[in-house]
Amino acid sequence: MASPQVDTESVPEEGYERGLNSRQVQMIAIGGAIGVGLFLGAGANIAKAGPSLIVMYALAGVIIFFIMRALGELLLYRPVSGSFAEYSREFLGPFFGYFTGWTYWLMWVVTGMAELTAAAIYINYWFPEIPQWVSALVFLIVLFGANLISVKLFGEIEFWFSMVKVTAIIGMIVIGLGVLTFGFSQAGDTAAVSNLWAFDGFFPKGIGSSLMTLQGVMFAYLAVELVGVTAGESENPEKTLPKAINTLPWRIALFYVGALTVILCVVKWTEFSDGASPFVKAFAVIGIPAGAGIVNFVVLTAALSSCNSGMYSTGRMLRTLADNGEAPRVFQRLSSTKTPALGIGISVIFMGIGVVLNYTVPEKAFGYVTSVATAAGIWTWLMILISHVLYRRQVVAGRLPASSFPAPGGSVCSYIAIAFLLFVTGLIAYDADARICLYVMAGWAIALGIGWAVLKNRNPQVTQRGENEFEKVGG
């Protein structure tokens, strides 16, 4: 529970409409855990790791739960919109708040680029005569308009996008179990649980190859922390946020581990390849009429859902930065519908670069932007975990009030998750194809460092904000 001693002057969600109800927050949380990384990216990872990919998703899922419980404890200590940047600012200092806010903004901008590209590719399935960039531009404009209208409309769109994804995955699991149990469909003769180990074993390409898929697996989990951004606009964060976070393990178990297990039992792992959706492949092998078209619609909604979330997040994060003097003050303004319209608009312009990339280097654009998004996401998760560790120290010392939603094991799970994320970063550095994102992040860090130096010169009091935060907040 937020302490009455908290300095309300620094709470940046003031002025927002608390328009997200429990139903919408729950579905935003569920939708955040299901994205294009599962529907599309899992195909390439299956080809690299075989059935052992199931273990990689389960392992990463445990770490994601640790991250979300750490975030949950912080959110119930002080529920604010733009939470990651605020906690980084409070516990690590103003520079880290500035860096985290801008990096999370970058993550969603590049994710939006990737999702727009993916959505345009899916539209080509039905309308090959429409240029890819045209579809991407239309989606960009429509979602931009929806985000400007109200947070309630954003929540409602996200609710139905998530409903489509959830229904599709549950349908895949039920049909797959039916094929395995009763042997119907074209896949009935070859579908078997033994497919998980019958073709060169459970780790057909070795544990090393399996571990190398972790970077792609972590991309699939990006956006699960979106619940934290909704905190400032949830009707009852004390009830809705713990419920959304505590249901995460079964969502991961069902939607990722469960769905992939069923698919790999129905279809031999050797039949999957890069660029092909495992769900499309499974429906095709089973022989369901119009199955490919149905799944194409589902993956289209997954892409649009992620892009929709990106617009929502970037606008809020820019407003948080502006509230703290770390972005132009004009981004503080809310429209008549209580949305940060200008921040969303600027972010959409940058997302539009994805349309250009899609036009110029379509074969490489998706891979580049997803790797950059993963690197930015790992930074965000690390800041959540480190902030949580520092918060716990202050609680133990009696300098801050305890949260009503403490993480199990205190800081221990956060330390484990930090070590895991650093390990994944090492894997990215080892992979020649993915390594480019670290170069991009290094350039990004230099640019933000220059921006901080300029900010410090022009407005030194902004860069000193929060130096005595513990005394101020904790009393």
pLDDT 10s digits, 367-419: 677 778 888 999 999 999 999 999 999 999 999 999 989 999 889 999 999 99
d(CA 334, CA 441): 31
Residue type, 416: I
* pLDDT, position 3: 39
DSSP string, 212-249: HTHHHHHHHHTTTTHHHHGGGGBS-HHHHHHHHHHTHH
Contact (Cβ atoms closer than 8 angstroms) between residue 71 and residue 228: yes
Spell out where 200-285 has E strands.
none
Q: Note the pLDDT tens digit of each residue in 210-255.
A: 999 898 888 888 877 777 666 556 667 777 778 878 888 888 888 8
Contact (Cβ atoms closer than 8 angstroms) between residue 284 and residue 277: no
Contact (Cβ atoms closer than 8 angstroms) between residue 103 and residue 84: no
| Least confident among 4-18, 136-150, 351-365 | 4-18
58 to 217, 223, 265, 455: CA distances (angstroms)? 10, 17, 17, 43
pLDDT > 90 fraction of the chain, expressed in percent and rounded: 25
In a domain, 6, yes or no: no
Contact (Cβ atoms closer than 8 angstroms) between residue 1 and residue 79: no
* pLDDT, position 188: 67
Q: Note the pLDDT tens digit of each residue in 130-157.
A: 887 788 889 889 888 888 877 777 778 8
Question: Beta partners for 20?
Answer: 234
Q: Note the pLDDT tens digit of each residue in 450-472.
A: 999 998 888 888 777 554 444 44
Torsion sign (Cα): 346, 351, 352, 356: positive
Contact (Cβ atoms closer than 8 angstroms) between residue 49 and residue 388: no
- Domain range holding 304? 17-452
Contact (Cβ atoms closer than 8 angstroms) between residue 264 and residue 49: no
CA angle 289, 181, 286 (to 5 degrees): 20
Residue 12 has pLDDT above 60, yes or no: no
In a domain, 473, yes or no: no
Confidence of residue 75 (pLDDT cuts 50, 70, 90): confident
* pLDDT, position 203: 94
In a domain, 459, yes or no: no
Residue 448 has pLDDT above 90, yes or no: yes
Residue in this structure with the two tokens 């690197």, named with its chain if needed: 375
Residue 37 has pLDDT above 80, yes or no: no
* pLDDT, position 355: 72
Confidence of residue 44 (pLDDT cuts 50, 70, 90): confident
Look over the chain and give the mean of its residue pLDDT values, rounded to a whole number.
82
Confidence of residue 1 (pLDDT cuts 50, 70, 90): very low
pTM above 0.95, yes or no: no
Count of domains for the chain:
1
In a domain, 134, yes or no: yes
Contact (Cβ atoms closer than 8 angstroms) between residue 34 and residue 302: yes
Q: Note the pLDDT tens digit of each residue in 160-187.
A: 888 888 888 888 889 889 888 887 777 7
* pLDDT, position 441: 92
In a domain, 388, yes or no: yes
Residue 13 has pLDDT above 60, yes or no: no
In a domain, 266, yes or no: yes
Residue 434 has pLDDT above 60, yes or no: yes
Closest CA to 142 of 372, 395, 351: 351
Q: What is the total residue count of the chain?
A: 475
CA 117 to chain centre: 17
In a domain, 286, yes or no: yes
* pLDDT, position 310: 81
Confidence of residue 114 (pLDDT cuts 50, 70, 90): confident
Q: Note the pLDDT tens digit of each residue in 243-293.
A: 878 888 888 888 889 999 999 998 889 888 776 778 878 888 888 767 778
Contact (Cβ atoms closer than 8 angstroms) between residue 430 and residue 211: no
In a domain, 82, yes or no: yes
d(CA 304, CA 239): 28
DSSP string, 274-327: TTS-HHHHHHHHHT-TTHHHHHHHHHHHHHHHHHHHHHHHHHHHHHHHHHTTSS
* pLDDT, position 389: 97
* pLDDT, position 398: 92
Q: Note the pLDDT tens digit of each residue in 334-345.
A: 877 777 889 889
Residue type, 475: G
Q: How far apart are the first and last CA of the chain?
A: 16
Confidence of residue 59 (pLDDT cuts 50, 70, 90): very high
Contact (Cβ atoms closer than 8 angstroms) between residue 2 and residue 90: no
For the domain that residue 162 is a member of, what is the CATH number? 1.20.1740.10
* pLDDT, position 475: 37
